Structure 1
Amino acid sequence: MNHLRLKSTLFVVALMSVQLLLAQDYDLDKVSEAELEMKVYAKDSLAPAVYLNKIRETYVDYKSTSGFMFVNEVTERIKILSKEGLDYATKQILSYKSNGDKERVEDIEAVTYNLVDGKIEKTKIDKEGVFENERSEHWDETTFTMPDVQVGSVVEWSYKTVSPYYKIDDLVLQESIPVVNYYAKIRTPGMFQFRRIRKGYFDIKPKESVADGGFSFQNSYGTSTYASFKELVAEYTYTDIPAIKDEVYLVNPRNYRWSVVYELISTEINEGEKKEYATTWEEVAKSIFKAKEFGGQMNPSSFIKKVAESIVANNSGTKERIDAALKYVKSKVTWNENYGKFTEDGVNKAYDKGSGDVAEINLLLTVLLRECGVQANPVLISTKQYGIPLYPTREGYNYVVVGIRNGLKTTLLDATDKLSAPNILPTRVYNWKGRMINAAGVSQELDLLETISPRRDSYISAELTEDGKLTGVLKQRFSSLEALELRHQIGNKSLVDWKNERVDYFGVDQITNHKMESLELLDKPITESLDFVIDQAVDQVPGQMYLNPLVFLRLDENPFKADERLTPVEFDYPVSQNINITIKLPQGYTVQQLPEASRIVLPGDMGSFTYSINNSGNTLQVMTKFDLKDNFIPVDSYLDLKEFFKLRITKEAEKVILQKSI
């Protein structure tokens, strides 16, 4: 760490946090009988537990032996409301470590409060109840579970974390249970310049003030010197914070929980020696490429060269070599389901073991393709589960795929999925932007979605009998990611089992002549065809039939039921779904009433739905087209999306009235 090398004169800087001169002035009352008697949280009656108070103070301390240390003092009080809430009586604290430095957890104090015969009883945690474990190469974990906890208890703990790294942990206001009172005070020295970034859909403005600060340190002459400064204090207060909850079409709610992120911009530890930290994605990519766990894996070994020689000898075209290399890597190395942009054991060891993480598998594929004469490069990605980074940082990426650029066309590959194909990758990767890095470490941004065109086309030709029986043929064509998703759904099932599942899925009485074409050709669309029978496809009253012309292909339930939503909607990918149905009507019946044609459009042209229907003689034809152009729907468009699906479902539920001729 950097240490002060100041002269023995008064040092004055604009500062934002040092422990010695500012005490926390948020007073936390003692646990009350009212808190212990609480049975339910009125603003969320289903909450299993609730944070009564969530308090934090962050400041910078300085020691001559260790330099600047970033300190967090945390106090949290939680009310347990149900058996499910007992899980919140366990606390886990992660500590980072790297290159001999590590974060510490200190001064843990924890108490359980219970109301027994009208009196408040306290049970303190013993030191033996605190456990420290190594979770990985870079992370340790401190864990403790509160003693004597039961439904109705209030638990409270406080602790301090001390970090040698120049970072301020995110201020996390929103949790999986409600937070009644939140308070945070952040004090950072002027020698540490930060940018604040709000994350999540909420508004908060800190109360800012300037205060005096200072500390003593050992100067270069061995005598004690006092440094004084002005510090900026930012205080955050918020009440009645709702719990963040799982929602339909949301990969990871934690990506959108209310928080404030502090990005380090620059430091000036010694006067006149300013160091810039804010960077660009180009610089981030370059630094990742230089790491031995990334760029250091790009040198081909002898076995890779031999494999490449065989592929080149047996495949003359670039496409054929790409397909052969992808097939080879998928057959030799199985994904161990570990993510990461850096290799854990390295490409060679992964090959020898037959299993590896994302980076090991796809960097292996990159090297093999290069040896085959294909200009392949790694592409850094942040998966949907990982979220979208708010500013350029090495931690912004957690995944790597392979990219091949040919003019303006990009081909992406991912050998972690055995069913993937060129430009047909697992849906987890289609998030935000990718960044391709060439052999010189130069990078360029890629639009991941421009490489895909998911589509599903459905055709029905059917005949309706006078007794309401419908027999027909269904053909469906699944392209791009729609085909990949279908292959994953089928998995290792036999076609007989899959046919039986389709009977239930479509709600028909019988399926025969079921066929699947191109199921094994991973880069081709899948065609599914079948004959079906519905014994009673209409509602009948004397002289009339009521027929839904979309049969079993209509959407019958709105996935968006909530009146409000605090997180965006994340569909897997943009998609086009088309339906074309022709039904021959029974003799002696005419169309008395048809639904009206309709077109529904989402704001900003994010999506549309078109419905058209016509009758010619004894033939009925209906067509629908659903286009989702944007798979990310922001919070402020949620009600529009809900109404869009409501109107679509209402339209698709409308029936044709058939009148029997006299």
Structure 2
Amino acid sequence: MKKSLLFTLVVILILNKPKAQNFNFGEISKEELREQYYPNDSTANAAYLYKERKIHYTYDGERGWTLVTEVYERIKLYNKEGFDYATKVIGLYKDGPSEKMTSLKANTYNLENNKIVKEKLAKNQLFKENKTKNTIVYKFTMPNIKKGAIVEWKYKIYSPYYSYIDEIELQHKIPIKQLNVEVKIPEYFKFKRHLKGYLPVHVVQSMNNRTIQFSYRRQVDSRRISTVRETNEVDLREIIYTVRDKNIPALEEENYISNIENYRSALSLELSYTEFPGSRVKNYSSTWESVCNKINKSSVFGLELSKKAYFKEDLTPIIATTSDKLKRINLILEFVKSKVKWNGTYGKYTDVGVKKAYKEGIGNVAEINLILVSMLREGGLNANPVLVSTRNHGVPLFPTSKGFNYVISAVEINEEIILLDASEEYSMPNVLPYRVINWRGRLVKEDGTSLWVDLIPAKHAVDNKNTNISIDSEGYVEGMQRTNHMNMQALSYRKKYAKIKDETIIEKLEKENEAIEIADFRIINKTGGNKPVVEMFKFSSEDLIELVGDRMYFKPLFFNSQTKNPFQLDKREYPIDFGTPFIEKNMVRITIPEGYIIESVPESIAIGLPNDYGVYIFNVKTQGNIMMIMSKLKMNTAIYPVLNYDEIKEFYKIIVSKNLEQVVLKKV
């Protein structure tokens, strides 16, 4: 009886055990097409119904080892905002031999009149581009996409670069219903495993026996060129890494994040060494020192720095004008910026070479900044290139040359390092474009040795506003404002407005501050130089003062008030990245109208964040009919730790509250 009961319970458990959905290419259900929103996140515009990546090695007696990656993705498009996910970009690497993509199949599915309608991707809808010297890009957009459609594709990539496995992404900006990752590695390859991101990931490791069959040609007659193809096989063990998961949440954007990709959950595999039968161990694990030394020896990096004849005639009269090192740095930086324009391409290596870029007046980042380094050295300065991973490239987890995609310049003077980027037309010494400010870079010296340098600006970016306001008895406001933008703020202002007419800027400012009309607008140092950008204008308004009976009410900083807390989330997952330390200062002088007295003003406060991360000071002084208000927000760190999120959320809450408090004037 007990055995019968036990058997019945086992059967019930087996029958009720949830089964993983099987996904086969081309087999789409009406239920999938009818689904109107993602069950676990109704705000998702699209979702991966299934995402699969399988990686394994093959061997050929003539070509050797090949890394094979099989990709299969099925995506549901819930609305028009999700249509971007119907476009796929596939990047391939080449450095001599090229990676190859094969076996591409791609379909769009729609439900029309209760029937599944399929449309295949046509051959002429696949586009190929040689993006850089080392990168080939395939791109396609699926046909006939509609609200509720499903797109799917699969393909294989064959890579001769078997020592490098691309990072395996385990999370995306849209949710994943079902994920399947499988990596099979022959026992001869010893990889280190790295996980990144905040999402808990369970990687299962197992072993498997495998037989590899391979063919090769053997010479059959030493006196003739005669060969015969033979087949052989080898038994070996494989290490298998597996990730199988369901209902993976979307990677959510938050305010003040440098690059959300840095926090995406992913699996990286770093080749440590190989140990083939009958061969010595070959080490692949590297250090940043050896990576940079190898880059420095490259003909498209270090060798380019030794070429100087092409610019000497132009440079000699420039450096002859001054012996002051700081002035010489500025002169050479501005000369390179004017001489060679950036073509928009990143890269740590040159494409056409420094000589051709200089002659034609256009080049990539490496060409421009290696020219700058060479000229600075020729000018008697201790200059070196700095390898960088840009914000959109992320932060590398382990030493690899692929960790860098950009190069800037550095000059050492009196133990101080001055960073320069001549590809950015509005850059200044130690004021780099935002794209470059990503943790730290690797300074490479002439002898190939290298060291880390901090890329985060030491100087605060400054917005300094001085506003004079007069109020008449009817509540009409007239005033003048002068704003000084310094350091990173000057660069940002120029990038935003330098090529825009003043009339367009006025329209934009009036739109952002609907209550004012602007006149006599002008900008000093709008397009360049190392001086602050100065913006000045007069303004007037009938809508900045609220009249209620015999009283006037207005915000102390008027249209410059901070009225919204940028940190609204109850819980934050990632550090806050401001990009640079900064200061926002407002000095407001208010002349109150005759016949009115100051009835009440906001109280002065001074508050701070832990560890001197930041401080806010709000101060009000009155004398007769004059009111002086000072508001100063100073953030002393570019990166604010997520562990202190509650404190900065409350910090900004107090700032907003103080900015919204009213000044009250009473008629007498």
| Contact 1:410-1:451 at 8 Å conserved across structures | no
Deviation at 1:508?
Answer: 5.9
1:180 pairs, out of 169, 177, 180, with 177
TM superposition score normalised by structure 1 = 0.86
**1:467 has 2:474 as partner:** yes
> Deviation digits for residues 546-575 of structure 1, max 9, x if unmatched?
232212221123344455665554323221
2:282 pairs, out of 275, 287, 290, with 275
Residue 412 (structure 1) aligns with? 419
With CA pairs under 8 Å and 6+ residues apart, which has the higher RCO, 1 or 2? Answer: 1
> Deviation digits for residues 581-611 of structure 1, max 9, x if unmatched?
2323344444333323334444554333232
Q: Structure 2: which amino acid aligns with 1:320?
A: K
**1:96 has 2:86 as partner:** no
Relative to structure 1, the CA distance from residue 210 to residue 536 in structure 2 (aligned partners, 3 Å threshold; closer, same or farther) is: closer
Deviation at 1:340?
Answer: 1.0
> Deviation digits for residues 324-373 of structure 1, max 9, x if unmatched?
21222122211111111111111111111111111111111211122121
Relative to structure 1, the CA distance from residue 241 to residue 309 in structure 2 (aligned partners, 3 Å threshold; closer, same or farther) is: same
**1:342 has 2:342 as partner:** no
| Contact 2:460-2:636 at 8 Å conserved across structures | no
Residue 44 (structure 2) aligns with? 47
Residue 190 (structure 1) aligns with? 187
Q: Aligned partners of 2:565, 2:442: CA distance in 1, in Å?
A: 36
Deviation at 1:217?
Answer: 4.9
SS at match of 1:98: coil
Residue 154 (structure 1) aligns with? 150
Deviation at 1:85?
Answer: 4.4
Residue 9 (structure 1) aligns with? none
Residue 372 (structure 1) aligns with? 379
Structure 2, unpaired ranges of 5+? 1-19, 220-229
| Contact 1:300-1:368 at 8 Å conserved across structures | no
Q: Aligned partners of 2:279, 2:614: CA distance in 1, in Å?
A: 55
> Deviation digits for residues 97-124 of structure 1, max 9, x if unmatched?
222x222333334455554555556666
Residue 554 (structure 1) aligns with? 561
Q: Structure 1: which amino acid aligns with 2:617?
A: T
Q: Structure 2: which amino acid aligns with 1:32?
A: S
Q: Aligned partners of 1:120, 1:488: CA distance in 2, in Å?
A: 50
Q: Aligned partners of 1:482, 1:121: CA distance in 2, in Å?
A: 54
Relative to structure 1, the CA distance from residue 474 to residue 119 in structure 2 (aligned partners, 3 Å threshold; closer, same or farther) is: closer
**1:595 has 2:590 as partner:** no
| Contact 2:194-2:269 at 8 Å conserved across structures | yes
| Contact 2:456-2:638 at 8 Å conserved across structures | no
Residue 223 (structure 2) aligns with? none
1:441 pairs, out of 448, 452, 455, with 448
**1:383 has 2:390 as partner:** yes
SS at match of 2:393: coil
> Deviation digits for residues 153-205 of structure 1, max 9, x if unmatched?
43433332222212222221223432111111222233222222223321112
Residue 10 (structure 1) aligns with? none
| Contact 2:498-2:527 at 8 Å conserved across structures | no
TM superposition score normalised by structure 2 = 0.86
Residue 102 (structure 2) aligns with? 106
- 1:293-332 aligned within 5 A: 293-332=300-339
**1:544 has 2:541 as partner:** no
Residue 493 (structure 2) aligns with? 486
Q: Aligned partners of 1:254, 1:418: CA distance in 2, in Å?
A: 28
Relative to structure 1, the CA distance from residue 439 to residue 451 in structure 2 (aligned partners, 3 Å threshold; closer, same or farther) is: farther
Relative to structure 1, the CA distance from residue 550 to residue 372 in structure 2 (aligned partners, 3 Å threshold; closer, same or farther) is: same
Residue 394 (structure 1) aligns with? 401
Q: Aligned partners of 2:500, 2:118: CA distance in 1, in Å?
A: 57
- 1:193-208 aligned within 5 A: 193-208=190-205
Relative to structure 1, the CA distance from residue 341 to residue 456 in structure 2 (aligned partners, 3 Å threshold; closer, same or farther) is: same
| Contact 1:311-1:372 at 8 Å conserved across structures | no
How many residue pairs are counted as aligned between the two chains? Answer: 636
Deviation at 1:71?
Answer: 1.8
> Deviation digits for residues 78-112 of structure 1, max 9, x if unmatched?
2333345455445443322222x222333334455
The share of aligned pairs that are identical, in percent, is 34
Residue 213 (structure 1) aligns with? 210
Relative to structure 1, the CA distance from residue 614 to residue 324 in structure 2 (aligned partners, 3 Å threshold; closer, same or farther) is: closer
Q: Which moved more, 1:615-624 or 1:258-267?
A: 615-624
Residue 61 (structure 1) aligns with? 58
Q: Aligned partners of 2:141, 2:493: CA distance in 1, in Å?
A: 44
Q: Structure 2: which amino acid aligns with 1:396?
A: G
Relative to structure 1, the CA distance from residue 496 to residue 38 in structure 2 (aligned partners, 3 Å threshold; closer, same or farther) is: closer
Relative to structure 1, the CA distance from residue 269 to residue 601 in structure 2 (aligned partners, 3 Å threshold; closer, same or farther) is: farther
Relative to structure 1, the CA distance from residue 633 to residue 241 in structure 2 (aligned partners, 3 Å threshold; closer, same or farther) is: farther
Relative to structure 1, the CA distance from residue 545 to residue 123 in structure 2 (aligned partners, 3 Å threshold; closer, same or farther) is: closer
Q: Structure 1: which amino acid aligns with 2:152?
A: E
- 1:111-260 aligned within 5 A: 111-115=107-111, 118=114, 120=116, 134-142=130-138, 150-165=146-161, 166-217=163-214, 226-244=233-251, 247-250=254-257, 252-260=259-267
Residue 21 (structure 1) aligns with? none
| Contact 2:340-2:358 at 8 Å conserved across structures | yes
Q: Aligned partners of 2:545, 2:129: CA distance in 1, in Å?
A: 64
Q: Aligned partners of 2:640, 2:554: CA distance in 1, in Å?
A: 34
| Contact 2:614-2:637 at 8 Å conserved across structures | yes
Deviation at 1:62?
Answer: 2.0
Q: Aligned partners of 2:287, 2:232: CA distance in 1, in Å?
A: 39
Q: Aligned partners of 1:467, 1:161: CA distance in 2, in Å?
A: 74
Q: Structure 2: which amino acid aligns with 1:548?
A: K
Q: Structure 2: which amino acid aligns with 1:279?
A: S
SS at match of 2:427: coil
Q: Which moved more, 1:189-198 or 1:111-120?
A: 111-120
1:70 pairs, out of 48, 67, 72, with 67
**1:620 has 2:616 as partner:** no
1:585 pairs, out of 592, 595, 600, with 592
| Contact 2:460-2:580 at 8 Å conserved across structures | no
Relative to structure 1, the CA distance from residue 344 to residue 659 in structure 2 (aligned partners, 3 Å threshold; closer, same or farther) is: same
SS at match of 2:330: helix
Q: Aligned partners of 1:476, 1:120: CA distance in 2, in Å?
A: 61
Q: Structure 1: which amino acid aligns with 2:23?
A: L
Deviation at 1:400?
Answer: 1.5
SS at match of 1:552: helix
Q: Aligned partners of 1:370, 1:429: CA distance in 2, in Å?
A: 23
Q: Aligned partners of 1:86, 1:459: CA distance in 2, in Å?
A: 46
SS at match of 1:309: helix
| Contact 2:183-2:241 at 8 Å conserved across structures | yes
Q: Which moved more, 1:406-415 or 1:76-85?
A: 76-85
Q: Which moved more, 1:59-68 or 1:498-507?
A: 498-507
Deviation at 1:260?
Answer: 1.5
Relative to structure 1, the CA distance from residue 136 to residue 430 in structure 2 (aligned partners, 3 Å threshold; closer, same or farther) is: closer
Q: Structure 2: which amino acid aligns with 1:257?
A: R
Give the alignment's Cα RMSD to 1 decimal.
3.2
SS at match of 2:172: coil
Relative to structure 1, the CA distance from residue 240 to residue 566 in structure 2 (aligned partners, 3 Å threshold; closer, same or farther) is: farther
Deviation at 1:382?
Answer: 1.7
> Deviation digits for residues 607-646 of structure 1, max 9, x if unmatched?
3323233444444332222122233345555565444333
